[in-house]
Structure 1
Amino acid sequence: MDLATLSAFIAIAETGSFSTAGERLFLTQPAVSKRIASLESQLGVRLFDRLGREVSLTEAGRALLPRAYQILAVLDDTRRALTNLTGEVTGRLTLATSHHIGLHRLPPLLRAFTRAYPQVALDIQFLDSEVAYEEILHGRAELAVITLAPEPHSLVRAVPVWNDPLDFVAAPEHPLASNGPISLADVARHPAVFPGGNTFTHGIVQRLFQAQGLTPNIGMSTNYMETIKMMVSIGLAWSVLPRTMLDNQVVRIPLPGIQLNRQLGYILHTERTLSNAARAFMTLLDQQI
């Protein structure tokens, strides 16, 4: 069993395809198949069921997967620990972030970081915040700057950096944009466009309605805040957006006594040795608090 073979195993498990795994690893499909055949021979078990084009983990494969992650994580951790001894801020920093934060919060920090540490190769992955949690847990990203979960995983350290107020918004000509008194019940009767149901932001808004025994009329959903803003601005629906995105295209819906907030910040795995590059970037983030 070697690291290259384990990497091939993980790539197939994650993609569900030998050919796609080969593309990720810059290998031909026969080369990937050969590695898996060798691994199965060494372990004496079948790791994947191949039914036509469908590839799925066997029971043995499911048992091996978390251990394969752990083996590669220990190796990466060892490399970082040894590299850190030099004190130099170099190497690769894999940073996961949401599209919204990447566009509206990180540019000044990324500019300062790249100027201060030109020897660091930044690998920035734009992901939904919920997906970024999995990337941190599985060791595929070293640091993630995202919308923080209400209850983080026990192996995740979450550090709040920005308080992000959320406002109910509509197009200027929308009925909800009138100057008269508006209640949450009034809002619930109109079509809405929401972040996807699996997102932390969706949960924040949904809990507000549930607390008042209401159900929002969700006609559409998307995880991209810029897309939500566009659909709101043309009058298709109301929504909830970060206050930092408000301009003359949308207006706040006046809801006295209601203020939603979410926390933006960074997360890391508590059992992972951080590179000097990650620590340097965390210092920049901590300066924003």
Structure 2
Amino acid sequence: MDLGALDAFVAIADTGSFSAAGERLFLTQPAVSKRIAALEAQLGRRLFDRVGREVALTEAGLALLPRARRILAELDDSRRALGNLDAEVGGRLSLATSHHVGLHRLPPLLRAFSQSHPAVALDIQFLDSERAWAQVLGGRAELALTTLGPAAPPLQAVPVWDDPLEFVVAPDHPLAARRTVRLDGIAAHPAVLPDANTFTHRIVADCFASAGLAPQLRMTTNYMETLKMLVSVGLAWSVLPHTMLDAQTRVLRVPGIRLRRQLGHVSHTGRTLSNAARAFMALLDGAAGGRRTGAT
């Protein structure tokens, strides 16, 4: 079975498009179609139904997909294990990062890493934290740099940044003038928060649930910059990282309530990490150690 054809098959399944798969693999669309045609001929099964511009996996395609992922993951693992025999740090490093971490925490680290290891080709995907974890679990990324939630084997989560969260409103919001406010007072007003399946939403929802309350959701979005904009125009209250606060927002002081989350890196304990991934993890762990030392 041709590994290039399997690569094309998985890329189409992930992107839902022959042309998008070609862009991901740096191939033309006809080249991708040729690989799939060869794979279908070899297997004697149609793998995709093509209706207009829509592409959907057939029953045979659905059965092949998890096996194809495992084969490609094993191949990548073997390549990394052999590459690690050479102490040089090079090759490709696949990272999946949340938008917030990627925009607000990673830039200085990426600059330092690129300067120290210019032979490494960085492949960075910007995804929701939960999807980034799935990329690591499925072997499509070596490391995820995200908000951390409960980690279970085979995933391992390591904190790097402590990220305090604040209840915020617009300067002209009815709650903005109060010196302190209770949770039930906040719950009486509409909220904008990340989606319910995100780690951050769960932190906020658990806080309210412990008081027998629930936020009134006006809408959800997983982009912190969008949440800040919606707050700043007075649409609703939200919860934002302390590092994002400025004159567009007012912090609500809630006695006895302190929200925080951990940001860090996630890896797969059952997979061999490349020298590049190990070097990047060492940089992250050094940054975390420096902050802990500076705090003492």
* Structure 1 residue aligned with 2:35: 35
* Structure 2 residue aligned with 1:75: 75
* Structure 2 residue aligned with 1:221: 220
Q: Determine whether 1:277 maps to 2:273.
A: no
AA of the residue aligned to 1:54 = E
Q: Determine whether 1:208 maps to 2:188.
A: no
Residue ranges of structure 1 left out of the alignment (5+ in a row): none
**Distance between the aligned counterparts of 2:70 and 2:15, measured in 1?**
19
- Quote the offset at 1:241 in angstroms: 0.5
- Quote the offset at 1:188 in angstroms: 0.9
Q: SS of the residue aligned with 1:139?
A: coil
* Structure 2 residue aligned with 1:120: 120
**Given that residues 180 and 252 in structure 2 are in contact (C-alpha distance below 8 angstroms), is that contact kept between their aligned partners in structure 1?**
no
- Quote the offset at 1:230 in angstroms: 1.9
Q: Which segments of structure 1 move beyond 6 Å, counting only runs of 4 or more?
A: none
- Quote the offset at 1:160 in angstroms: 1.3
* Structure 1 residue aligned with 2:102: 102
Summarize deviations over 1:194-244 as a string: whole Å, max 9, x none. 112232111111122222222212112211111211221222211101111
* Structure 1 residue aligned with 2:244: 245
* Structure 2 residue aligned with 1:44: 44
- Quote the offset at 1:162 in angstroms: 1.6
Q: May I ask how many residue pairs the two structures share in their alignment? A: 288
AA of the residue aligned to 1:135 = Q
Q: What's the RMSD between the two structures over aligned residues? A: 1.8
- Quote the offset at 1:178 in angstroms: 2.1
Structure 1 segment 39-188 matched on structure 2, within 5 A = 39-149=39-149, 151-188=150-187
* Structure 1 residue aligned with 2:267: 268
**Given that residues 166 and 242 in structure 2 are in contact (C-alpha distance below 8 angstroms), is that contact kept between their aligned partners in structure 1?**
yes
**Distance between the aligned counterparts of 2:33 and 2:245, measured in 1?**
52
TM-score scaled to structure 2, two decimals?
Answer: 0.90
Deviates more, 1:108-117 or 1:250-259: 108-117
Identity, in percent, stands at 68
* Structure 2 residue aligned with 1:4: 4
Residue ranges of structure 2 left out of the alignment (5+ in a row): 290-296
TM-score scaled to structure 1, two decimals?
Answer: 0.92
- Quote the offset at 1:133 in angstroms: 1.0
AA of the residue aligned to 2:54 = E
